[in-house]
Amino acid sequence: MPCPVVNGTSYITVKLCLQDLLKSCETFYKKLLKLNSDESEDATGRDSTLFNDALVLKLVVKDDSALREVFTQQKKDLVYRIKSHDWRSLVNECVTYSVDDLVEAVTVLADLDAPYQCWPNDIDPLQVYTLDPMGNVVGLTSSKNGMSTTKQNMSTAPTTALPSLVASRAQSYTDLTKNVPTGASYPSLPIGNAGANSQRKRCIAVLTSGGDAQGMNPFVRAVVRTALFKGCQPFAIFEGYKGLVRGGPEYIKALNWEDVDGWNAQGGTNIGTARCKEFKERAGRLAGALHLIEAGIDALIVCGGDGSLTGADLFRAEWPSLVDELLNSGKITAEQATTYQHLTICGAVGSIDNDMADTDSTIGAYSALDRICEAVDYVEATAKSHSRAFVIEVMGRHCGWLALMSGICTSADSIFIPEEAVDPKTWRDDMCKVVTKHRERGKRTTIVIVAEGALDSDLTPVTSEDVHKTLVDRLGLDTRITVLGHVQRGGSAVAFDRILATLQGVESVNAVLESTPSTPSPIITVSENQIQRKSLVESVKSTKSIAAAIKEKEFSRVLQLRNSEFVEHYENYLAINAADHYAPQLPKKDRLKIAIVNVGAPAGGINSAVYSMTAFCLSQGHKPYAIYNGWSGLTRHESVRTLTWKNVLGWESSGGSELGTDRDIPSSTDIGMIAYYFEKYQFDGLIIVGGFEGFVSLYELERVRDVYPAFRIPMVLIPATLSNNVPGTEYSLGSDTALNSLIKYCDVIEQSASSTKDRAFIVDCQGGNSGYLATCTHIAVGAHASYVPEEGITLDQLKQDITNIAEAFDYSDGREGQLILKTTNASKAFSATALADVMTAEAEGKFSVKSAFPGHIQQGGKPSPIDRTRATRFTIRAVKFIEEKQTVSCTARDSVTEVNYNPLDKANTSTAVVLGVKNAKVVFSPIKSVYEKETDVKKRIPKVIHWTPLRSIADHLSGRKKVHS
């Protein structure tokens, strides 16, 4: 029978038949429905009132043993029939609540360990049903009408995006995920879309200030095109605040769609940047205010460092008084003063130093890190030839992020950073001790990385010259100094910075349009993989407090003021740099045997994971084992070897898989033989580094634990695949390396296309049934379109794309080459070559299309800095997870006849996990739950594609018209 649905009801009473259920029900409903509790509740503890703006829910306790038995049995029956029956057909009543986000609700249910069903399917549910602790069936829907089978309007849905980046949940009145009707003009822009709350067309200016950073051009491009898409007029202020102070059409220019074509691949900032002393004075800010009002601008987006953003916020704070002063002096009219009485400010951090608090990464930081790692990799080759030492000086006056991360990426022997001031009396001895130990164990090279702001506890700078002199005088090493300087700022942005800058540019415009006069100025940040808005003032304040703490010699506070990820990376560097050169951290009784294996295709960062696992295990006192050549190597050749620090030297920056890898899974080899060798070597933990085959391997090992006690050990999968298709995570090792390889290839192909009039290229991307690579590359290189398996290729859309490309060539006089990305599996009918032939034929001479195949270039090469550092971070977390889980029951494997082992017990299932990034957190998800509930096994992809919203952003920013299905 149909379930009664609460539609408009604001008061619900839930009766509980057991006092012990009150607290658990409170927790359940508070977390699931985001309710608050009534602090004025009576002291008897018999009732509880929960509420929010739309609902009051009363929990009433009335002990009833008969009813208790009924509900206990009902709950058992429902859980037993979770896969075979629709709960709604088994109960007499069900209350359905309206929630904003079903995906978030499912996540909460998983955290609460509550059973649930999705209707009509798990992939794209319209409704979700669960059981509260009492056993009541509770329904959830994202529609306002609980009986509706229509999905929520995407124009009001939260916007999410990736690579591994997810856009802010904050809603805007115009959403980039909304389809655009096909029109007659290029590019696709909404007609008369000036914003639902606007009486006039908004004018938004963007400027870049401070030191230049790779990614500033993609940021400006995203701001300009998003503003145009949302019906606003974008302006660029050239030469930073200097241009704002000087004003006039030479410095303040309106930009059109085509003005920012091709900017993604260009380094630096095309609108210029400059230091401006005048803007630091009120007279300069007064002139800037006048010039903005004269141009009709009422919103300013600033991309720069903390000084630039501080100036922007001060400008906004003074704005009312500046307007009054301009009015009183007769420089503006009363109408202008009324129209421009408020200035909206939004900031984004462009800085290669990554020195802003409250964000994991700033625009340009990973591009600069890429330059450093490339230089060190080159330098190390010549250092190895002569057994030399090199001192590398990198930027970072108040922040040692570049030195720290490059130290991890290149296995540097020593690093010097501002956050960790060294002892002026002992730092030379400490450094020489480490270098000597490394040399004694067979390392031919010595790399020391010095941040330009490095100092000792007396605030005396530690310079590259000081380090050089020490290595020469004390150790007699042939030593060279390499100062990288502005090379770190140069060149095109890496994939991460292009996409980060683009998403932050989109979010900056959203923030401007959603701000009110009372809204604090926001700054756009990123946490793990999620784009967020935070307070500009608070972020700048936190950043400046670090420099102040250093100046005041409060070094114990400095690291604490950095974000937790920075501290984690620093601790990881110290651990892996110690390896087995010092006494182990753990007592003998806690030391373990931990194995690592590569399963699936090669991916950037796999070797970095093995190196980090080996070095960290040795520093703890564990014994690291390697299983060579995957499961087939183990079953056929007993390919198990212990790992030593010397074995893995250089692996941190090595591409491919030094252990060897294949796609065999346990069931296709000999799972019994695998168990035999696990028992023989008495492994206490296992780390699998691999893609979907690794994912399936972990599930198969966990599933047979009741038969093979050898597998009752903590097991962790670190996803590693360029396809980024492993369920349970939004980021896989190797995907960033593949993206960098692909965008370099596309930049070259686009240059070729631009050199030939009216030429387009279709680039065939790997990825299997996942369009992640094609979509992210679409954004990173500003391609015209991308075809992915999740959408396929329709004839109507293909016809429209041909028309779009022809129009684009008309606007550029045929000299702006066009790129199209296609995942190989996007269509069974059209290969890249066939698609190129069809488009050329249908273009009727207006343009020609060629196909290009980067192939396994996408898998090869040295791993990117992101893949190196994340491999280190994830692997160390995996080892710590194995350490923590040694006490649970599943590790009791001594008796084959053990009868108490329950494979469904949460304590046991929680020890076989996927390590992943989800919603700005690094999490461990049980493989059983992820495989059975979140995976489309046949397609080898997650049921919920976390990066899908990027599709619309990519299309809109490239001017692609989408045909409604």
Task: Please check if 199 is assigned to a binding site.
Answer: no
Joined together, the tokens standing for residue 800 give 């429209």
Residue 725 annotated as lining a ligand binding site: yes
Q: What is the token pair recorded at 75?
A: 């709950």
Pick the catalytic residue: 175, 313, 353, 801? 353
**C-beta contacts of 85-88 below 8 A and 24+ residues apart:** 86/117, 86/119, 87/117, 87/129, 87/131, 87/137, 88/2, 88/3, 88/129, 88/137, 88/139
Contact 296, 288 (CB under 8 A): no
Kind plus residue range of the DSSP H or E element containing 15: strand 11-16
911 annotated as ligand-binding:
no
818 annotated as a binding-site residue? no
CA atoms within a 13 Å half-sphere pointing along the CA-CB vector of 578:
16
Q: Is 288 annotated as a binding residue?
A: no
Q: Is 282 annotated as a binding residue?
A: no
723 assigned binding-site residue: yes
Task: Please give the helix or strand (H or E) that residue 20 lies within, else none.
Answer: none
Q: Which of 497, 498, 533, 538 minimizes the C-alpha distance to 513? A: 533
Q: Has 307 been labeled as part of a binding site?
A: yes
34 is in an annotated binding site: no
Q: According to the annotation, is 721 in a ligand binding site?
A: yes
List the 233-237 sheet strands across, edge first.
252-254, 233-237, 203-208, 299-304, 344-349, 522-527, 530-535
Binding residue per annotation — 486? yes
> Helix axis angle, 495-514 relative to 365-386, nearest 10°?
160
Going 24 to 26 to 30 to 32, the CA torsion angle's sign is: positive
> Is 670 known as a binding-site position?
no
Place of tokens 């250089």: 650
- Strands (E) in 238-291, as ranges, are 252-254
Question: Binding site annotation covers 353?
Answer: yes
Q: Say whether 396 counts as a known binding-site residue.
A: yes
Q: Is 352 annotated as a binding residue?
A: yes
Residue type, 244: L
- DSSP state, 494? P
93 is known to lie in a ligand binding site: no
Name the nearest CA neighbour of 944 among 322, 170, 122, 214. Answer: 122
Rounded to whole angstroms, the Cα distance separating 528 from 164 reads: 8
Q: How far is it, in rounded angstroms, from Cα 484 to Cα 514?
A: 42
Is residue 613 a known part of a binding site? no
Tell whether residue 940 is among the known ligand binding residues. yes
According to the annotation, is 767 in a ligand binding site? yes
- State yes or no: 705 annotated in a binding site: no
Q: Tokens for 805?
A: 């490309």
The reply to whether 758 sits in an annotated binding site is no
Beta carbons of 718 and 697 less than 8 angstroms apart: no
Residue 485, Ramachandran bin (φ over 0: left; ψ between -120 and 50: alpha; else beta):
left
Cα separation, 622 vs 596, whole angstroms: 13
Contact indicator for 235, 253 with CB cutoff of 8 Å: yes
* 946 marked among binding-site residues: no
Q: Is 259 a catalytic residue?
A: no
**491 is known to lie in a ligand binding site:** no
Question: Does 306 show up as a binding residue in the annotation?
Answer: yes
End-to-end CA gap in the chain: 34
**Residue 955 in marked binding region:** no
The verdict on whether residue 850 carries a ligand-binding annotation is: yes
Q: 766 a known binding residue?
A: yes
Residues 6+ apart with CB under 8 A from 858: 722, 738, 741, 742, 765, 766, 773
- Catalytic positions, please? 353
Q: Which residues are annotated as a binding site for ATP?
A: 211, 275-276, 305-308
Q: Which residues are annotated as a binding site for beta-D-fructose 2,6-bisphosphate?
A: 663, 721-725, 759, 766-768, 850, 856-859, 940
Q: Which residues are annotated as a binding site for substrate?
A: 351-353, 388, 395-397, 452, 480, 486-489
Q: Which residues are annotated as a binding site?
A: 211, 275-276, 305-308, 351-353, 388, 395-397, 452, 480, 486-489, 663, 721-725, 759, 766-768, 850, 856-859, 940
Q: Which residues are annotated as a binding site for Mg(2+)?
A: 306
